Amino acid sequence: MAELSERKQHILAIIIERYIATGEPVGSKVICTQMGNAVSSATIRNDMADLVESGLLAQPHTSAGRIPSQEGYRYYVDNLMSNYELGLEEQERIKIWLGSFSSEPDKLLEKAGSILAELTNCVAVSSSPADSEAVIKRIELVPLSNHTAMIVLLASSGILKSAVVRSDNEINMDIAEVFYNICQTYFNGRSVSDISIPFIQTLVASLGDKVFIMSPFLCAIADLCEAVKTTDLHLKGQNNILNHSELSEDAFRLMDFLHRGTPLENMLDSQKTQLNVAIGSENIYRELKNSTTIFSKYSVGDRDSGSIGIIGPTRLDYAHLIPTIKYLAGVIGNLLTETLDEE
């Protein structure tokens, strides 16, 4: 593609931002007015024709104005988009919304997804990290009744997993103390990959008369360690797909794609950069050929962990959405890091 003149860049930016705002094709008169009538309509029409020829604009009908192509959106994101920054009030609002969930990582990600779906009117996707090298930071036993308890496992990846366990024995202080001692001796500080069925079997064999009391709890710990090694996806706002006329023909395929899970996991796991914006056919899955995906990684400590972002139409307010998603990912990473630092 030949390098665009400053005037053509200005015209392209006007068309894209106007189309994002209205969803209507943009004609030369609108552009002429927005440029302060400094350029004639004839000159603008010639430039628009050149932009169509170069693949950055499309003309839906012979007499209609122009709309951005997928290539036009890409050029805009890479070269023309203004560097919008969230205001202090917006930043504080996000921090307050998420702060109360800082000690519950899974709920934090779900809440962040709900916020993002509401703010963007798109499908919000967040993922917890899958980390086979994660180390067990802490395991707790929380009694729920005489015979049921919740086991909570916190890993160094910043993810907290929990499971409800039923015991045939009454869960009293003595059982809780035995559980605590076992965790301190055999689990805390150990990699989740070490907690295999043979490991549990060896441990059970050493428990003597406590084996029948502890077995269900130890099996639950093994399951939680396995869960830490598995990516968890949180989807919010799936029905927002139906709010965009541009996606009406793809709605069924998109819904099916989201519910299948595995392709979405693979897409997030394959991200190479901190921020990934894929527009239309840049997405690796055909179900997303008319969609834009924007995902930002979040880091726990100094390690990349999960991701958060959106799936929506190509007609998006990129200038505002990209910094919002990046900021949200940063807050999630900071909150999870603080939770680990408190241990």
Domain map (residue ranges) of the chain: 6-80, 88-129+232-341, 136-228
- Residue-wise over 18-30: b if at least 16 C-beta within 10 A, else e? bbbeeeebbbbeb
Mean pLDDT of 303-311: 86
Distance separating alpha carbons of residues 286 and 152, to the nearest angstrom: 39
Distance separating alpha carbons of residues 150 and 300, to the nearest angstrom: 25
**Topology match between the domains 88-129+232-341 and 136-228:** no
The CATH number assigned to the domain with range 88-129+232-341 reads: 3.30.450.40
Q: What percent of the chain has a predicted confidence (pLDDT) above 70?
A: 95
Predicted TM-score of the model (pTM) = 0.81
User: pLDDT, tens digit, for every residue of 59-71?
Assistant: 887 667 899 999 9
Tokens of 220: 């639950």
Nearest to 258 by CA among 228, 293, 230, 300: 293
User: pLDDT, tens digit, for every residue of 120-178?
Assistant: 999 999 987 667 778 998 899 989 999 999 998 888 876 778 889 999 989 999 999 99
Q: How confident is the model at residue 295 (pLDDT cuts 50, 70, 90)?
A: very high
Q: For domain 6-80, give its CATH number from 3.40.50.2300, 1.10.10.10, 3.40.50.920, 3.40.50.150.
A: 1.10.10.10
Amino acid at 318: Y
pLDDT of 129: 65
Taking 90 as the threshold, does the pLDDT of residue 308 lie above it? yes
User: pLDDT, tens digit, for every residue of 79-98?
Assistant: 999 878 888 998 998 888 88
User: pLDDT, tens digit, for every residue of 193-239?
Assistant: 999 888 988 888 888 888 888 989 999 999 999 888 877 888 999 99
The class that CATH gives domain 136-228 is alpha beta
User: pLDDT, tens digit, for every residue of 182-195?
Assistant: 999 999 999 999 99
Nearest to 176 by CA among 146, 136, 206, 208: 146
C-alpha distances in angstroms, 261 versus 89, 132, 252, 256, 303? 35, 20, 15, 9, 24
What's 78's DSSP letter? Answer: I
pLDDT of 103: 67
**How far from each other are the two terminal CA atoms of the chain, in whole angstroms?**
54
Please tell me whether residue 221 adopts helix, strand or coil conformation. Answer: helix
